Amino acid sequence: MEDLENNTTVFSTLRSLNNFISQRMEGVSGLATPGSSQSSLQIQYQQRVQLEEQAGQIHSKSQLLQVEREKMQMELSHKRARIELEKAANTNARNYEVEADRNQELLTRIKQYQEREAEAENKLKEQMEMNKSYKKSMETMSKKLQEKESKLAEANETITILKGKISELQWNIMNQEMQMTSQDSQKQELMEQLDVQHKKWQEASQQIQTLQASQSLLAEYEQKIKDLEQKFSQQEHDALIVKNMKAELARFPKMERELRQLREENAYFREMKENNGLLKEEVEGLQRKLERYEKVQAQLVTVELENEKLLGKLKSWEKLDQSTGLNIRTPDDLSRQIVALQQREIVLKEQNSTITNSARILEKARQQLQEEILRVQSQLLDEKKKREQHEALVRRLQKRVLLLTKERDGMRAILESYDSELTPSEHSPQLSRRMREAEEMVQKLHAHNTELEAQLAQVLEEVGNHKQRAEMLEVEMKVLKSQECTAEQSTVITKEEVDTLRLKIEELEAERSKLEEENRSLEMKLEKLTLQGDYDPSRTKVLHFSMNPVSLAKQQRKEEQQQLQEECERLRELVRVLEGGGSVPGNLEGVGSFQSQEIA
């Protein structure tokens, strides 16, 4: 409220200011004089400015106040709103609680309803199941009903059929009764007819008797007729026979003529056959001769070729005579020359063999002698070595003797000096010491001497060995040189032998290869022949059973062939006879029947 009061004061001040300003403006505008107006203007302007500033301040203050008022109002409204909100909240809370309670009640109700619903569903399900079961039972019942109905229908049908049958049967019975009655009536009629017939039969029998009598008479008559007919036929037959006989008799001469002709033809054909046979034999003989002549010709040709070859060879042999200039005119001379050459060859070979034997013996002797020479030389060398060793020993011994004599002399001199020294003075310890030293020196010298001698001896031995080896080598060298000389002489001789031997070896190898090839080819042939079934007749023989199937089959075949030939001949005769047109003889009839049986 204070603010409001402030505001009203502010407003009032504002109004007063505005009024003042407006007055001042009017006053200012009315006073538009130049001179003093300037200072008044300035003052007015300053006042205006101050007033404007105040106005502005007041405006701002008024604005502030307005704002504050608005703020107050806002706060009040805010509070009111808050209070209202609180109220509303309270009411809402209450409503909420109420509604919550309601909700809970509703929920409980819903649960109850859901439970009820579930129960209802269960009940529904049960009901449905019950329904289904009832339906099934209903269906089964209905099926049963249907079956029963079908059965009923079938039963009805059967009933109807049976009724139909019954009716038919009844109808049949009726018909049969009717038939029975009709048949009874017929029977009566037939009985009456029977009586009539009986009477007739009696009459007929009487008639039959009469007829039989007449028939016997008839039979007699017929017999007579047959006899007469037979006689007649016989007479006719006889007449025919007579006619045939006459005809045959008429034919007889013709037959005789034909017979003669056939016999002549037969004879002619036989002659022809014999001629044919003879001609065939001649032909075969001629063919064989031809073949022989052809063979002979071929042989002639080959013989002529051989002849020419031989003539050529002869000419070449004769030419040989001119070419070799060995006085050869006939092959005998050639053969003699060859024999002579061979004999010379044999003689030369024998000489060769003797010479080679002697050469071998001489070589062996030479080798033995060389071995002896070697042995003797080695012995010589050994003895030389021994001699040298002995000489060296002798020298050493002499040197030793000299040394010993010198030592002895020295020792004697020393002893004499010692003796001479001993008698004047008795420097025995020094002398003894000196003596001992001297003796030691002597012993050392002895030892040294012996060592040197031993070394000398060793060296001399080695030298001797080396010399011996050298001499042995020299000897061997001499031997080898001598052997070389001899070998050079012998190689000249043996080169020829080697060449000949090589040639022989080559020839032998060529022969060997040829023989191997021949061997292989022969083995192949042998293999082929063994596969084909060849055998060595000298070592094996072939046996088979006498009663073997091949022979049996051949026998059967022969028998069949014979049978067939016989049949053939018989058939030919039949044909001839049939062509002739005569009566068929008995034996051929059998063949014909046999043939007909075979065809059947």
- Does residue number 530 form part of the binding site for other proteins (CB under 8 A)? yes
Q: Measured from the CB atom, is 12 or 556 closer to other proteins?
A: 556
Backbone angles phi, psi at 547, to 5 degrees: -90, 65
Per-residue tokens: 28 = 């200012």
CB of 288 to other proteins, least distance (A): 24
Q: Which residues of 517-531 are buried (b: 16+ CB within 10 A; e: fewer)?
A: eeeeeeeeeeeeeee
Q: Which of 54, 94, 65 is nearest to 1 (CA)?
A: 65
Contacts of 595 (CB under 8 A, 6+ apart): 571
CA 174 vs CA 163, 165, 182, 186, 459: distances in Å = 16, 13, 12, 18, 178
- Does residue number 523 form part of the binding site for other proteins (CB under 8 A)? no
Give the C-alpha separation, 556 to 378, whole Å.
Answer: 106
- Does residue number 541 form part of the binding site for other proteins (CB under 8 A)? yes
Backbone angles phi, psi at 453, to 5 degrees: -60, -45
CB of 521 to other proteins, least distance (A): 17
Give the C-alpha separation, 25 to 14, whole Å.
Answer: 16
- Does residue number 552 form part of the binding site for other proteins (CB under 8 A)? yes
Q: Measured from the CB atom, is 365 or 529 closer to other proteins?
A: 529
Per-residue tokens: 262 = 């056939």
CB of 293 to other proteins, least distance (A): 28
- Does residue number 596 form part of the binding site for other proteins (CB under 8 A)? no
Q: Which stretch binds other proteins (CB under 8 A): 62-70, 84-92, 338-346, 546-554?
A: 546-554
Q: Using CB under 8 A, which of 36, 322, 489, 546 touches other proteins? A: 546
Q: Using CB under 8 A, which of 549, 583, 596, 597 touches other proteins? A: 549
State the number of binding residues for other proteins (CB under 8 A).
26
CB of 520 to other proteins, least distance (A): 18
Give the C-alpha separation, 317 to 323, whole Å.
Answer: 10
- Does residue number 533 form part of the binding site for other proteins (CB under 8 A)? yes
Give the C-alpha separation, 278 to 596, whole Å.
Answer: 40
Q: Measured from the CB atom, is 120 or 553 closer to other proteins?
A: 553
- Does residue number 531 form part of the binding site for other proteins (CB under 8 A)? yes
- Does residue number 554 form part of the binding site for other proteins (CB under 8 A)? yes
Give the C-alpha separation, 128 to 134, whole Å.
Answer: 9
**Number of other residues whose CB lies within 10 A of the CB of residue 11:** 13
Residue pair 100/107 in contact (Cβ under 8 Å)? The answer is no
In terms of phi and psi (left: phi > 0; alpha: psi -120 to 50; beta: otherwise), the region of 493 is alpha
CB of 535 to other proteins, least distance (A): 6
Q: Measured from the CB atom, is 419 or 536 closer to other proteins?
A: 536
CB of 327 to other proteins, least distance (A): 57
- Does residue number 564 form part of the binding site for other proteins (CB under 8 A)? no
What is the secondary structure of 262-292 as a DSSP string?
A: HHHHHHHHHHHHHHHHHHHHHHHHHHHHHHH
Give the C-alpha separation, 82 to 88, whole Å.
Answer: 9
Q: Measured from the CB atom, is 489 or 540 closer to other proteins?
A: 540
CB of 523 to other proteins, least distance (A): 15
Q: Measured from the CB atom, is 539 or 583 closer to other proteins?
A: 539
What is the secondary structure of 6-54 as a DSSP string?
A: HHHHHHHHHHHHHHHHHHHHHHHHH---SHHHHHHHHHHHHHHHHHHHH
- Does residue number 547 form part of the binding site for other proteins (CB under 8 A)? yes
- Does residue number 534 form part of the binding site for other proteins (CB under 8 A)? yes
Q: Which stretch binds other proteins (CB under 8 A): 14-22, 243-251, 301-309, 523-531?
A: 523-531
- Does residue number 1 form part of the binding site for other proteins (CB under 8 A)? no
Within 470-509, the residues that bind other proteins by CB under 8 A are: none
Per-residue tokens: 137 = 């039972």
Q: Measured from the CB atom, is 399 or 558 closer to other proteins?
A: 558
- Does residue number 360 form part of the binding site for other proteins (CB under 8 A)? no
Q: Using CB under 8 A, which of 420, 540, 596, 597 touches other proteins? A: 540
Q: Which of 12, 11, 15 is nearest to 63 (CA)?
A: 11
Q: Using CB under 8 A, which of 32, 539, 579, 600 touches other proteins? A: 539
- Does residue number 524 form part of the binding site for other proteins (CB under 8 A)? no
- Does residue number 525 form part of the binding site for other proteins (CB under 8 A)? no
Binding site residues, other proteins, CB under 8 A = 528, 530-535, 537-554, 557
